[in-house]
Amino acid sequence: MVRNILIAFCVILFVSCSKDTESKLFGKWQLQKVEASGNVQNVDTVYFNFEHSLFMYQVYVTEIDSFRHQYGYNTLEGEKTLLLELENDPRPISKFLP
């Protein structure tokens, strides 16, 4: 009986795994520096959030101790191209994600 349960668990575990190419970006990323015209500036208040095809960027505003954010969609094309489509006014969030 225990052997059958263990076999069923292993089969379910292996079937649930997938090779999703968009999962390379999955999670929360923090921008650490920006380089423009040879000048490098350290940044620690900008975050990018990826979950499947959804995208959100957050900017921490220290003066008011709060985040500004923008929602949209992301598409990964090839190894080096990321397309972002931002919503103009997704507030409230229920309007963006009904």
Cα–Cα distance between 76 and 6 in angstroms, integer?
A: 38
Based on the structure, what is the number of domains in the chain? Answer: 1
Cα 94 to Cα 50, 71, 72, 87, 90: the distances in Å are 18, 12, 13, 13, 8
Cα dihedral across residues 82, 86, 39, 42: positive or negative: negative
Question: Considering the domain boundaries, does residue 38 fall inside one?
Answer: yes
SS3 6: helix
Cα dihedral across residues 76, 89, 68, 97: positive or negative: negative
Six-digit token string for 83: 């397309």
Question: Considering the domain boundaries, does residue 4 fall inside one?
Answer: no
State the average pLDDT over residues 67-90: 78
The per-residue pLDDT for 22 is 47
State the average pLDDT over residues 74-82: 80
Q: What range does the domain containing 43 cover?
A: 23-96
Question: Considering the domain boundaries, does residue 53 fall inside one?
Answer: yes
Question: Considering the domain boundaries, does residue 15 fall inside one?
Answer: no
- Mind listing the pLDDT tens digit for each residue in 9-60? 666 656 555 555 545 778 888 889 888 888 998 988 888 888 888 888 888 8
Strand 46-51 and strand 81-86: the pairing is: unpaired
- The CATH number of whichever domain residue 61 belongs to comes to 2.40.128.280
